Amino acid sequence: MDEKKYAKLEQDMSPKTPLVRNMFFAFLTGGTICLIGQFISLFYMSFFDFTERTASNPTVATMIFIAMLLTGFGIYKKIGQFGGAGSAVPITGFSNAVVSAAIEHKSEGYVLGVGGNMFKLAGSVILFGVFSAFAVALIKTILVKLGVVSW
């Protein structure tokens, strides 16, 4: 059997991906996570007299904490199976990646297992996120000092 026949056979035998269904569930899941975040933000603004700007940090911390708990109890995995990329995009997906890696390597000990492996998946995100933030802040500072823009 040549390559073309094998590729066609493989394509015919492979199950079709329900793309529209997957996109809908991802949208639903990501939107629900963001809606929960908005409710938490409104909670902080209503009951603790935060402004919209100052409520963002405790909201993010709360969302990370909730995602950590859901990951620890195995619930976030089910959310990810249902929503696919919708569960990975918000900050809760990042929290899930860090915590699940830590849980997976817990048997190797706290230092070499948890500490050494929890940032394997998320380490590159942290590295490039910090570098990007530094680069953008540097460009902004230079543009402000030159008088090109004013913030």
Instruction: Say whether both 73 and 47 belong to one domain.
Output: yes
Structural domain range at position 139: 123-151
- pLDDT one-digit tens code per residue, 124-140: 777 788 899 999 999 99
pLDDT in tens, 49-76: 899 999 999 999 999 999 999 998 999 9
Task: Report the percent of the chain where pLDDT is more than 90.
Answer: 49
Residues 92 and 144 in one domain: no
What total of structural domains would you count in the chain?
A: 2
Same domain? 106 vs 144:
no
Task: Tell the residue number behind the tokens 């199976």, with chain if given.
Answer: 81
Distances (CA, A) of 122 to 46, 76, 102, 125, 142: 34, 17, 11, 5, 30
* pTM assigned to the model: 0.69
Same domain, 132 and 102: no
